[in-house]
Amino acid sequence: MKRYSAFAIAREAARYHTGWERAWRAPAPQKKYDVIIIGAGGHGLATAYHLGKNFGIKNVAILEKGWLGGGNTGRNTTIIRSNYLQDPSAALYEKARSLYETMSQDLNYNVMFSPRGVIMLAQTHHEVRGYQRTAHANARQGAATEFIGPERVKELVPIINIDGPRYPVLGGLWQARGGTARHDAVAWGYARACSDMGMDVIQQCEVTAIRREGGKVVGVDTSKGAIDCDKLGIVVAGHSGHVAEMAGFRLPIESVALQALVSEPIKPCMDVVVMANTVHGYMSQSDKGEMVIGGGTDGYNNYTQRGAFHHIEETVRALVETFPMISRLKMLRQWGGIVDVTGDRSPILSKTPVDGVFINCGWGTGGFKAIPGSGWAMAELIAKGHGPLTDAFGLERFREGRFIDESVAAGVAH
C-alpha cells in the first residue's frame, strides 16, 4: 500500500493522478478463514484491524451484505465523547476517544477528527445534580469532564438561548476533548488498512446460514457460496437478532429507527457539539456548514431507514426554543438508521452459547463514538477469550441481573 502524503499528492498531480491504487481490494472469498466477521461497518472493520495489528491474526474475512459502511456507520451524527457514568462504560468509551485522536496517523487516512468539545445541557435541577454526579465519576475514571455554569455555556455557544421560557439552561457537562469525525472516512480508513494486511473485505455477500457441528461454529453459507471458519464475529447492529437466530440463540435487544437531518449549509456559527436531553435534541455544525440535527429513537420496533415528518416536527420544535436562529433554515435531507437497544442501554460484547461465535451489538444510539474502542476490545475477546474492556458486557449479565445502567448518558446522543 502506498502511503498518502503531501509528496504523494504532488507526485500524482504532476502525472495527472494516474498512479493512485485502489484503496482496498475486491477479492473472491476463500474456502476457509481463521476468523470471519459479519458486518463491514465501523465496528466490524475495527475488530478485524485490531485482530491483525494487536494479535497478528490476518487470515480474516469481513463479509458485508450491502456496501462497506452503508449501515449505521454512514447514517449517524458523528458525535464522539466518553462522559458515561458507570466505570465499565467510561473505560470503553474513553479508550475509543483516545484512539480517535491518533486514528488518522495510525491508519494513514484522514478521518477528520475534530476535538471541538461536547456540552450536555442541564435544563432541569435534576439534570444539574445528575451531571455533577457524572463529572465526579469521570474524574475518578480518568475522563476529563467538568460541570460548567450557564454563562460559560453561552460563551462557548453564542447562538444559544439560555433563558428559554420552558427550559432555561442551568449549566452543562463539558468534555473539551470530545468532538466529531467523518463517519465514511473511519470505515474507509479501516478497510484500506485491513486490505493492506491481506484481509478480505467482501461486499455484496449476504450470510444466509451459520453452520455448526457439535455445538461449535464451522462456517457460514453466503450468497457467494459456503465459507469455513474457526471463529465467527457477529457485528451487524440492528440486524443482530436476526443473525443470532441463524446461530441458534436469542438476544435481549430491540431494533428501532433513529432519525436525523441536516440543514442547508450556512456560515460557521457553532464550533462545539450541543446535546439537550430534556427537549430531546442535539446539534453540531459540519465542515460543509450544515447544521446536523438528531433526536430520539422511534417509539416502536421497526427496520426502516427512512425519516418521518412527525420526527422532524418534534425534534426541530424542541431545538428552536434553544437555538432560535435555526427556525429560518431549510432542511437539506433526512435519514434513519436501525439501532439495537438493550434494556440497560449498554452494549453486548460477549461469547455466545455457540462455541467460537462472538457477538458485538446493543450499542443503541452510541455506536459511532465507540468504534475504535469496540474494535480493540472485541479483537481481544476473539483472540484470547476474555478482556478487561469486555468482561462486564457479557450476555450473562442479563441472567444475573448485573446491569450497566446508562439510560441517562445514552438517552439521546448518537
Q: Report the CATH number at residue 331.
A: 3.30.9.10
Return the pLDDT at 204.
97
- Within this chain, do residues 174 and 285 fall inside the same structural domain, yes or no? yes
**What residues have CB less than 8 Å from 214, skipping those under 6 apart?**
none
Q: Nearest to residue 178, comparing CAs of 154, 144, 131?
A: 144
- Mean per-residue pLDDT, 240-267: 94
- Within this chain, do residues 97 and 143 fall inside the same structural domain, yes or no? no
**What residues have CB less than 8 Å from 36, skipping those under 6 apart?**
60, 61, 62, 63, 219, 220, 227, 229, 231, 232, 233
* Residue 65 CA, distance from chain mean position: 19
118 pairs with which residues across the strands? 175, 273
- Within this chain, do residues 326 and 296 fall inside the same structural domain, yes or no? yes
Pairing verdict, β 291-297 and 281-285: antiparallel
Q: Nearest to residue 82, comparing CAs of 42, 31, 141?
A: 141
Q: Is residue 281 part of a domain?
A: yes
Q: Is residue 333 part of a domain?
A: yes
- Mean per-residue pLDDT, 358-369: 94
Whether 170 contacts 122, CB under 8 Å = yes
Q: Is residue 327 part of a domain?
A: yes
**What residues have CB less than 8 Å from 6, skipping those under 6 apart?**
none
Q: Is residue 125 part of a domain?
A: yes
The CA distance from 115 to 100, in Å, is 9
Reply yes or no on whether the pLDDT at 164 is more than 60. Answer: yes
- Within this chain, do residues 95 and 127 fall inside the same structural domain, yes or no? no
Q: Nearest to residue 178, comparing CAs of 90, 289, 237, 297?
A: 90
- Within this chain, do residues 240 and 261 fall inside the same structural domain, yes or no? no
- Within this chain, do residues 261 and 328 fall inside the same structural domain, yes or no? yes
- Tell me the residue range of the domain where 147 lies: 118-179+255-340
Reply yes or no on whether the pLDDT at 365 is more than 90. Answer: no
- Within this chain, do residues 315 and 348 fall inside the same structural domain, yes or no? no
- Within this chain, do residues 298 and 382 fall inside the same structural domain, yes or no? no
Reply yes or no on whether the pLDDT at 393 is more than 90. Answer: yes
Residue 78 per-residue DSSP state? -
> What CATH number does the domain containing 95 carry?
3.50.50.60
> Which spans in 72-197 are helix H?
87-107, 125-141, 150-156, 183-196
Question: What amino acid occupies position 209?
Answer: A
Whether 78 contacts 181, CB under 8 Å = yes
- Mean per-residue pLDDT, 207-218: 97
- The pTM is what? 0.95
Final residue in a domain of this structure, among 299, 324, 340 = 340
- Within this chain, do residues 164 and 194 fall inside the same structural domain, yes or no? no
Final residue in a domain of this structure, among 340, 356, 374 = 340
The CA distance from 157 to 3, in Å, is 38
Q: Is residue 87 part of a domain?
A: yes
What's the structural domain count of the chain?
Answer: 2
Return the pLDDT at 409.
67
- Mean per-residue pLDDT, 50-56: 98
The CA distance from 261 to 222, in Å, is 34
- Mean per-residue pLDDT, 372-385: 98
- Angle among Cα 292, 203, 74 to the nearest 5 degrees reads 5
The CA distance from 95 to 140, in Å, is 15
Q: Is residue 407 part of a domain?
A: no
- Within this chain, do residues 173 and 262 fall inside the same structural domain, yes or no? yes
Please report which helix (H) or strand (E) contains residue 378, including its range: helix 371-384
- Within this chain, do residues 80 and 42 fall inside the same structural domain, yes or no? yes
* Residue 185 CA, distance from chain mean position: 13
Cell numbers for 164, please give them: 428559554
- Within this chain, do residues 210 and 315 fall inside the same structural domain, yes or no? no
Residue 121 in 3-state DSSP? strand
- Mean per-residue pLDDT, 127-149: 96
Banded pLDDT at 413 (limits 50, 70, 90): very low
Q: Is residue 1 part of a domain?
A: no
Q: Is residue 231 part of a domain?
A: yes
Final residue in a domain of this structure, among 322, 340, 358 = 340
pLDDT digits (tens, 9 = 90+) for 296-344: 888 888 888 877 888 888 888 888 989 999 999 999 999 989 999 999 9
